[in-house]
């Protein structure tokens, strides 16, 4: 996993990519645990504000942790989450409330303030991570986040999903890449931290396009990125799309994905922290034709081993 012969990379440690845990430790001086919250939001791409039916890949149940229950209050969910993580991570004392499910800025500002303030009132919660869409952050909400960020840690997690409009259209995202670019610049100019999501392996996106996506991300003022391999989830429109046009989709073996990922992150600016490389839908939801059996931590370990074996690292070709 480490290369003792190499002088530290630009991110100051010897892992071959700018890794999230180290970034967090550098930023906060200790482990800060994210605790997921389902605040009962829907999203503008489901309720008709932007569209109906949602993004073709999306089934929020497949990535919402079991301890999140929108029937419980925000406080109860966070307290349950803190207890859940305490057992695994030796009682981290500081937490970020992670508003994860659906679009967590899709409500009037007064309602958002109530929800966020409830989260911030829980002892040990030092800030928010707010998952949202590029078209759901207006000037008023951004100004509010800017104000909140004077006292608390605030990270906006903006789903880009693809840097190509044809892909965004095919997956019924309801926004363009340029909308993501614009709002990311706006948030960054207000001093807000910005995280992003990207799906790798979308139909029609070649490896060259995915490498170009890494270059486009590198030009944005983002702090972090989460990469996910494409997974098909039972009952989603994307699974139907695959059944109708299997020739448009390519699903990698885990080994092939690692090799491609390595070639992609060689083009990603070293300043961008990588938070994830893999998604892990529960088996009962997962309809992907090639299924990987490894846990996230096992996949990460093997991927880092692969980076060692080919002696490459994030940003090598930037």
Two structure tokens written together for 206: 């070649």
For residue 107, give the DSSP letter.
S
Phi-psi region of 151 (alpha: psi -120 to 50; beta: other; left: phi over 0): alpha
- End-to-end C-alpha distance for the chain, whole angstroms: 22
Residue 180 CA: distances (Å) to CA of 44, 110, 142, 204, 262: 15, 24, 14, 20, 25
Cβ proximity to ligand SF4: between 43 and 125 the closer is 43
Q: Is 55 one of the binding residues for ligand SF4 (CB under 6 A)?
A: yes
For residue 226, give the DSSP letter.
E
Kindly state the number of chain residues that form the binding site for ligand SF4, as judged by CB under 6 A. Answer: 11
How far is the C-alpha of 1 from the C-alpha of 248, rounded, in Å?
35
Q: Is 127 one of the binding residues for ligand SF4 (CB under 6 A)?
A: no
Nearest distance, CB of residue 280 and ligand SF4, angstroms: 17
Q: Which of 36, 45, 162, 210 binds ligand SF4 (CB under 6 A)?
A: 45
Stretch that binds ligand SF4, among 8-16, 53-61, 179-187, 251-259 (CB under 6 A): 53-61
How far is the C-alpha of 187 from the C-alpha of 222, rounded, in Å?
9
Cβ proximity to ligand SF4: between 92 and 159 the closer is 159
Q: Pairing mode, if any, of strands 94-99 and 224-229?
A: unpaired
Q: Which of 15, 34, 133, 263 binds ligand SF4 (CB under 6 A)?
A: 133
Q: Which of 36, 103, 105, 196 binds ligand SF4 (CB under 6 A)?
A: 103
Q: Is 43 one of the binding residues for ligand SF4 (CB under 6 A)?
A: yes
Nearest distance, CB of residue 44 and ligand SF4, angstroms: 7
> Which residue, among 9, 37, 13, has the nearest Cα to 25 in the 3D structure?
13
Stretch that binds ligand SF4, among 41-49, 82-90, 182-190, 306-314 (CB under 6 A): 41-49
Cβ proximity to ligand SF4: between 149 and 160 the closer is 160
Binding site for ligand SF4 (CB under 6 A): 43, 45-46, 54-55, 58, 60, 102-103, 133, 159
């Amino acid at each position: 996993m480490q290369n003792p012969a190499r002088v530290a990379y630009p991110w100051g440690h010897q892992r071959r990519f700018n890794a999230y845990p180290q970034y967090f430790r550098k930023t906060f001086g200790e482990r800060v645990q994210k605790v997921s919250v389902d605040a009962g939001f829907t999203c503008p791409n489901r309720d008709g504000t932007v569209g109906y039916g949602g993004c073709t890949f999306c089934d929020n149940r497949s990535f919402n942790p079991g301890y999140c229950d929108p029937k419980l209050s925000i406080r109860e969910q966070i307290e349950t989450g803190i207890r859940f993580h305490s057992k695994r991570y030796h009682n981290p004392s500081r937490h970020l409330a992670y508003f994860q499910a659906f679009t967590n800025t899709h409500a009037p500002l007064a309602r958002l303030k109530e929800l966020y303030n409830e989260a911030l009132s829980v002892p040990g919660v030092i800030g928010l991570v707010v998952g949202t869409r590029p078209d759901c952050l207006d000037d008023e909400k951004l100004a509010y986040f800017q104000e909140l960020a004077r006292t608390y840690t605030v990270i906006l997690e903006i789903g880009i999903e693809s840097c190509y409009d044809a892909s965004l259209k095919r997956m019924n995202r309801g926004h363009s890449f340029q909308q993501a670019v614009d709002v990311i610049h706006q948030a960054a100019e207000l001093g807000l931290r910005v995280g992003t999501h990207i799906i790798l392996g979308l139909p029609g996106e070649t490896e060259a396009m995915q490498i170009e996506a890494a270059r486009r991300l590198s030009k944005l003022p983002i702090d972090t990125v989460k990469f996910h391999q494409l997974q098909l989830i039972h009952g989603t429109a994307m699974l139907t799309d695959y059944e109708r046009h299997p020739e448009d989709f390519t699903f990698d073996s885990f080994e092939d994905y690692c090799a491609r990922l390595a070639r992609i992150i060689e083009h990603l600016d070293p300043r961008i922290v990588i938070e994830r490389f893999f998604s892990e839908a529960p088996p009962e939801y997962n309809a992907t034709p090639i299924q990987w059996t490894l846990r996230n931590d096992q996949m990460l370990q093997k991927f880092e081993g692969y980076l060692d074996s080919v002696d490459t690292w994030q940003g090598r070709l930037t």
